[in-house]
A = this chain, B = another copy of it.
């Protein structure tokens, strides 16, 4: 999606949502946060191939847009928790639809092989 015009045209009925989940890793982040709040390092473990830089970028972006909350707990070591807001929960139907189609495609691929 991808670069300058992530929201291609205001009149497109899909742009408003795609502007949020357009990033390469964003859907996966949301998917893992759907199970419940998670810490930074947990998300890194969930999505091994994402770099720390990009993960931070996406999380900050999602925070700015009100999709998730960043909660810093002051303990002996730094600890930050991310959790979906109510607005963030609204995206779950999309995430789940994507997951279901992915599953179907995988089965199809297996059946074809």
A-side residues, CB < 8 A to B, are 1-3, 5-6, 8-9, 11-18, 22-25, 27-28, 31, 47-50, 87, 90-91, 93-106, 108
Contact = CB atoms under 8 A, between A and B. Distances in A.
Copies assembled: 2
Contact of A1 (B22, B50, B101, B102): B22
A104 B13 CA distance: 11
A1 to B, nearest CB: 4
25 contacts: A2-B2, A3-B24, A8-B28, A8-B47, A9-B48, A9-B49, A12-B28, A12-B31, A13-B31, A13-B102, A14-B98, A15-B28, A15-B102, A16-B101, A17-B98, A17-B101, A18-B24, A18-B98, A22-B24, A87-B108, A90-B101, A93-B101, A94-B94, A94-B97, A94-B101
Contacts of A106: 16
